[in-house]
Structure 1
Amino acid sequence: MPAVAQFDSLTALLTIDMQQGIQRVSLPRNNPGAEQQIAALQQHWRAAGWPLVHIRHISRQADSVFAPGQSGALFQPALEPLADEYVLEKNVTDAFCHSALERWLHVRGIEQVVIVGVASENSVEATARSASNLGFKTVVVNDACYTFDKTDFAGNPRSADDVHNMAMANLRDEYAEVVSCAELRKRLANQP
């Protein structure tokens, strides 16, 4: 996949599932500073006047922490959308599936998306794959995403770092450009 040349008002920042319920997961996780990285990227997008999309999972299961009316479905206070920013609710891992996201982006002429959030191998990976398959230039910010320890298909325990790194490897070059926050900030600062 060719490198993305620049970022501008046709680049949307997609923040995925940064809700209060995800903070209740008791498993070990990676990238403990991801929330701060996401907040800094959101601030940059706001200062530039670029589009932000806040995606939240709303579960169809009444006993889920992400069910409507549960505090877990609310955005984390530090990452709450502003009144004029787009909020998209999804019921499956992929933010493009059964939603208006693709149309919303196309109507605004948005050609590129930068993806951050949780969980790396779940909603982040699913959304990035669809974005790429739908023709959007796709960037995933490695250290502004995170996940949790998980047991693999063969029954072997895997650390959150292992799970995350495999998700990034699955996306890299095939579906998305995977960058660090530092690399992205450097590129943003060096743009004309």
Structure 2
Amino acid sequence: MAKQDSTSINLEALSERIGADKAPGTAPKWDFSPDDCATFDIRIGRDGTWYHQGGPIRRKNMCKLFSTVLRRSKDGRYFLITPVEKGEISVDDAPFTAVEIIVDGHGRDQTLTFRTNLDHLVVADASHPIRVSEDLETGEPSPYILVRDELEALILRPQFYQLVEIAEEFDINGKTTLGVWSAGHFFELGAA
């Protein structure tokens, strides 16, 4: 089936359908074909703000609910997927932002727990790695942590500086790098 044109959606109605089909604390997995989806006028800004028809969605609980049905396709596109409706949305950078870091312990024994703008708690570990992408033109770092299912949170600048403050030098293949430990894993932040 061909991709549908942009769809005007009623956020309240969509929210009710999601809530009716979702058990608390679950992230349902519905099969879908990206080519068989509408385009919703929803955008997630680089700062984590959700927008509908150009205006911010002010109800955090609605954004939290929508985030439970957010999916990323293999080609990097983002979709809201419910049993009833499927629609592509636009995401400026990452769908979440990391707004707080809770540090427990020190050095190799520490655990870093990130809280996102939608109150997801994520421990940096082998399943939820931290990565840093560097802008090729400016050299500016953009750090991320994997939240779930190919969905990342952009680690905001104050939290990145917090990571740099607790970072340690570590030798990897004869190259000294700066990074942080969490849950027994070392995550590179950049060259030392």
Higher strand share: 2
The verdict on a shared fold, with TM-score over 0.5 as the criterion, is no
> Which TM-score band (shorter chain)?
under 0.3
Q: Which has the higher contact order (CA 8 A, sep 6+)?
A: 1
Q: TM-score, with normalisation over the residues of structure 2?
A: 0.26
